């Protein structure tokens, strides 16, 4: 068992279940050409987000951490054909610009609002504007602030809202209470928060694949 094998299996799953898609492929290529890091969700993970959006019948989706918009496209397409809206938050103007171009190319620009700025500024803005509640929230920005993003996600939720947090296993380092990695400590604080938080019911799934060994937390608001 090794990362090469996980990647090979992801390729195999992809070839069977996730047909090559010109729009998604172009979004990844444009992101890579612009020098964005390849830290987007994998195709299989993107499709899971898409399926969860469909299963939930989501019409309002919030994403924290856009990058080139690869996961955003999966989420937005989960609301077709009925329609819906994704608000996606991104601090880096270059990432936001590439993402907007990718959304135009995907024919999804009307469904997606990219908000530039630090999420800790744009999340309270959304609340002040009375935006939300969101049906589904995907938290995938800097990991240090995961607990704060989760708390904002709760404020922008309703009963039944689904909250997904990416990258919560960190190659297994999450169990190391002494870890000097601030991202690991961010995830550990999320788990402390979840241990006490009666307003949500949550689980965490470890994953391996083309993006290595990591995982995600899935929560529903009670
Ligand atoms: N969801 C994307 C990947 C996001 S990578 C996908 O799967 O396709 C994380 C993104 O969060 C990066 O683009 C980074 O610039 C952004 N980010 C980091 N800190 C942030 C902050 N404080 N506020 C908003 N976005 C932030
Ligand atoms: C990083 C961020 C992500 O959202 C991810 O899925 C993988 C890596 C990172 O910041 O390194
Ligand atoms: Mg991620």
Render 52-80 in DSSP notation, one character per residue.
HHHHHT-SEEEEE--TTSHHHHHHHHTTT
Classify residue 19 by burial, with Cβ atoms within 10 Å: 0-12, 13-18, 19+: exposed
Q: Which residue has a Cα nearest atom 13 of ligand 1?
A: 67
- Interval 122-172: pLDDT, tens: 999 999 999 999 999 999 999 999 999 999 999 999 999 999 999 999 999
CATH code of residue 195: 3.40.50.150
Mean pLDDT of the chain: 98
The CA distances from residue 179 to 158, 170, 174, 184, in Å, are: 34, 11, 8, 7
- Number of Cβ within a 10 Å radius of residue 26: 14
CB of 152 closer than 6 angstroms to any ligand 1 atom: no
pLDDT the model gives residue 183: 98
- Ligand 2 centre and the CA of 210: distance in Å? 13
pTM above 0.95, yes or no: yes
pLDDT the model gives residue 91: 98
Characterize the bridge pairing of strands 162-166 and 212-221: antiparallel
Confidence of residue 1 (pLDDT cuts 50, 70, 90): confident
CB of 39 closer than 6 angstroms to any ligand 2 atom: yes
Read off the tokens for 166.
């990416």
* Domains identified in the chain, total number: 1
**Which domain range does residue 121 map to?**
3-221
CB of 118 closer than 6 angstroms to any ligand 1 atom: yes
What H or E segment, with its residue span, contains residue 103? helix 93-106
- Interval 34-85: pLDDT, tens: 999 999 999 999 999 999 999 999 999 999 999 999 999 999 999 999 999 9
The CA distances from residue 52 to 38, 41, 117, 205, 218, in Å, are: 23, 14, 27, 15, 10
What gap in Å lies between CA 64 and CA 155, rounded to an integer? 14
Q: Which residue has a Cα nearest atom 12 of ligand 1?
A: 67
- Interval 176-222: pLDDT, tens: 999 999 999 999 999 999 999 999 999 999 999 999 999 999 999 99
Can you tell me the mean pLDDT for 88-104?
98
């Amino acid at each position: 068992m090794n990362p090469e094998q996980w990647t090979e299996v992801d390729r195999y799953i992809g070839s069977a279940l996730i047909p090559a898609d010109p729009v998604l492929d172009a979004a990844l290529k444009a992101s890579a050409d612009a020098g964005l890091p390849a830290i987007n969700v994998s195709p299989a993970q993107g499709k899971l987000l898409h399926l969860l959006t469909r299963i939930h019948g989501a019409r309002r989706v919030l994403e924290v951490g856009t990058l080139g918009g690869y996961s955003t496209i999966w989420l937005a397409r989960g609301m077709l054909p009925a329609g819906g809206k994704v608000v996606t938050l991104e601090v880096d103007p270059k990432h936001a610009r590439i993402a907007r171009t990718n959304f135009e190319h995907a024919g999804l620009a009307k469904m997606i609002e990219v908000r530039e700025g630090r999420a800790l500024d744009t999340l309270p803005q959304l609340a002040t504007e009375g935006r939300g509640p969101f049906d589904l929230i995907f938290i995938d920005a800097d990991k240090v602030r995961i607990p704060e993003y989760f708390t904002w996600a709760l404020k922008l939720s309703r009963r039944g809202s689904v909250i997904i947090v990416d990258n919560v296993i960190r190659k297994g380092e999450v169990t190391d209470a002494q870890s000097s990695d601030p991202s690991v400590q961010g995830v550990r604080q999320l788990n402390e928060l979840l241990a006490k938080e009666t307003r949500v019911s949550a689980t965490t799934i470890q994953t391996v694949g083309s993006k290595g060994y990591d995982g995600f937390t899935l929560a529903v608001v009670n």
